[in-house]
């Protein structure tokens, strides 16, 4: 720039003009860096990092779990800053998938909400928990021989034999639990023998006895 009073003229001067960013774009998406975790993670373990697609780069974004469609499992997780973290103990045999509803709010108050599906993975280092007895008497308590963690081994084969060596139950992939019957007939009180082959890389085989209590 230069300026003149009609007689004298100033030397050229450079002027810098700064443009301030206007928060004129709505956030368009929430991203989660990871949506799978091991069932044995300790409470407070980070699962993944939350981030936002927002053309306005200024300011900050905050995240929270909110009520609404898809919030069924909000109580099983927490948000610490931009980290989604575990909040309870998990069991792959009983629950493998969770849905949560996350809200992002930017520094000007604009918000965006999104539902995420989080899945848990089996921890193969956790040993099978094999009950030594069950009572199939129809009272809905221990009516079947439920083996915790067995569902983590989809290739396994389970067989049960009576004291005469006759096979009374067989199942692969844990599609059914033994209810103490064989071909629809109730089996007698007493001891039965089982063998469980995991049929995975570990090559583990479990053998033992289970008692039917009436």
Residue 32 — φ and ψ, nearest 5°? -125, 125
pTM greater than 0.85 (yes/no): no
- pLDDT recorded at residue 59: 67
* Residue 139 backbone class (left: φ over 0; alpha: ψ -120 to 50; beta: rest): alpha
The residues near 43 (Cβ < 8 Å, ≥ 6 apart) are: 86, 87, 88, 89
Tokens of 113: 């909400």
Per-residue pLDDT tens, the chain, 214 aa: give them: 777 887 888 777 788 888 765 555 678 899 999 999 998 899 999 999 999 988 766 668 999 999 999 999 999 999 999 999 999 999 887 889 999 999 999 888 889 999 999 999 888 777 788 999 999 999 999 999 999 888 888 899 999 999 999 999 999 999 999 999 999 999 999 999 999 999 987 788 999 999 999 8
- pLDDT recorded at residue 31: 96
Could you tell me if 173 and 153 are in contact, meaning their C-beta atoms sit under 8 angstroms apart?
A: no
Could you tell me if 29 and 112 are in contact, meaning their C-beta atoms sit under 8 angstroms apart?
A: yes
- pLDDT recorded at residue 201: 79
- pLDDT recorded at residue 100: 98
């Amino acid at each position: 720039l230069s300026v003149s009073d009609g007689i004298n003229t100033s030397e050229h001067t450079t002027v810098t003009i700064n443009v301030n960013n206007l928060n004129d774009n709505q956030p368009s998406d929430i991203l989660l860096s990871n949506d799978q975790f091991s069932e044995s993670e300790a409470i407070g373990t980070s699962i993944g990092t939350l981030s936002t697609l927002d053309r306005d780069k200024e300011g900050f974004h905050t995240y929270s779990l909110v009520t609404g469609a898809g919030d069924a499992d909000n109580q099983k997780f927490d948000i610490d800053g931009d980290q989604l973290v575990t909040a309870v103990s998990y069991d792959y045999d009983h629950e493998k998938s969770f849905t949560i509803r996350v809200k992002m709010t930017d520094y000007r108050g604009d918000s965006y909400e999104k539902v995420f599906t989080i899945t848990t993975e089996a921890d193969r280092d956790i040993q099978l928990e094999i009950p030594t007895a069950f009572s199939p008497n129809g009272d809905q308590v221990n009516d079947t021989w439920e083996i915790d963690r067995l569902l983590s081994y989809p290739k396994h084969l389970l067989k049960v034999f009576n004291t005469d060596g006759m096979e009374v139950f067989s199942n692969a992939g844990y599609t059914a639990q033994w209810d103490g019957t064989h071909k629809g007939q109730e089996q007698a009180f007493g001891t039965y023998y089982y063998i469980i082959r995991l049929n995975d890389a570990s090559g583990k085989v479990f053998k033992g006895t289970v008692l039917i209590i009436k």
